[in-house]
Chains A and B, each alone.
Chain A
Amino acid sequence: QSVLTQPPSASGTPGQRVTISCSGSSSNIGSNYVYWYQQLPGTAPKLLIYRNNQRPSGVPDRFSGSKSGTSASLAISGLRSEDEADYYCAAWDDSLSGPWVFGGGTKLTVL
């Protein structure tokens, strides 16, 4: 049972816009930054969004992040086949001795 809650799956067709949600609590998302990672099949995770809505250099602006209260969302516009991957949210949690927590991950399928 992950501290952050994500839907296990999401899907969309090429060109479509999809969003992936991440729900937490006041001790994590509600009071700290949210990070998003993309994990392509058989590869290591890659940072997609940091500090709620910042994109590292090299990440296309098709990817965007937002946060409201104790929830966050990752939006992918202009969906492409290469976006098919697992997506994870993460946040710092003030109430735990081990500070970083992840969502359970969302498998995005491009139909």
Chain B
Amino acid sequence: EVQLLESGGGLVQPGGSLRLSCAASGFTFSSYAMSWVRQAPGKGLEWVSAISGSGGSTYYADSVKGRFTISRDNSKNTLYLQMNSLRAEDTAVYYCAKDQALVVSPAGGMDVWGQGTTVTVSS
């Protein structure tokens, strides 16, 4: 069974940093691109970042570019999101999601989602 388990969320002050992790199991992790998607309280889904299966290609939403870094360790079957210079508007549940393809492409799309980890940015 394909499973994704996020961790690392919590309360952080504005300007602070946090690193999210997503442990994957039940599939060949390195064969699939991965994404982070967030959902602010009471709001809709917002795609944040994606990374190819090899880790060689990364993509970011304009709202997080320059502040967030996506990475992966295929030897540990784990996806990461390093979040720096956090703002109140980054408060959300962060989901990791498996793509249907090796590369980030229109023919891929997110097919399996984790349960999410909550990030709260507040003083």
Where the two chains meet, the residues of A that have a C-beta atom closer than 8 Å to any C-beta of B are 2, 32-33, 35, 37, 39, 43-47, 50-51, 56, 86, 88, 90, 92, 96-105
Which residues of chain B are within 8 angstroms of A100 by Cβ–Cβ distance? 35, 47, 50, 110
Tell me which of B59, B109, B112 contacts A98 (CB under 8 A).
B59
CA distance A103 to B35 in the complex (A): 17
B107 touches A33 (CB 8 A): yes
CA distance A102 to B109 in the complex (A): 12
CA distance A102 to B65 in the complex (A): 18
A47 touches B109 (CB 8 A): yes
A97 touches B65 (CB 8 A): yes
Interface size class of B (residues with CB under 8 A): 20 to 34
A90 touches B109 (CB 8 A): yes
Which residues of chain B are within 8 angstroms of A96 by Cβ–Cβ distance? 62
Tell me which of B46, B100, B112 contacts A102 (CB under 8 A).
B46
Task: Give B61 Cβ to nearest chain A Cβ, in Å.
Answer: 4
CA distance A103 to B45 in the complex (A): 8
Identity of the chain A residue whose Cβ is nearest the Cβ of B114 in the assembled complex = A44
CA distance A6 to B107 in the complex (A): 22
Task: Give A41 Cβ to nearest chain B Cβ, in Å.
Answer: 12
Which residues of chain B are within 8 angstroms of A32 by Cβ–Cβ distance? 106
CA distance A2 to B37 in the complex (A): 14
A47 touches B112 (CB 8 A): yes
A98 touches B47 (CB 8 A): yes
Known: A45-B45, A97-B59. A56 touches B50 (CB 8 A): no
Task: Give B115 Cβ to nearest chain A Cβ, in Å.
Answer: 5
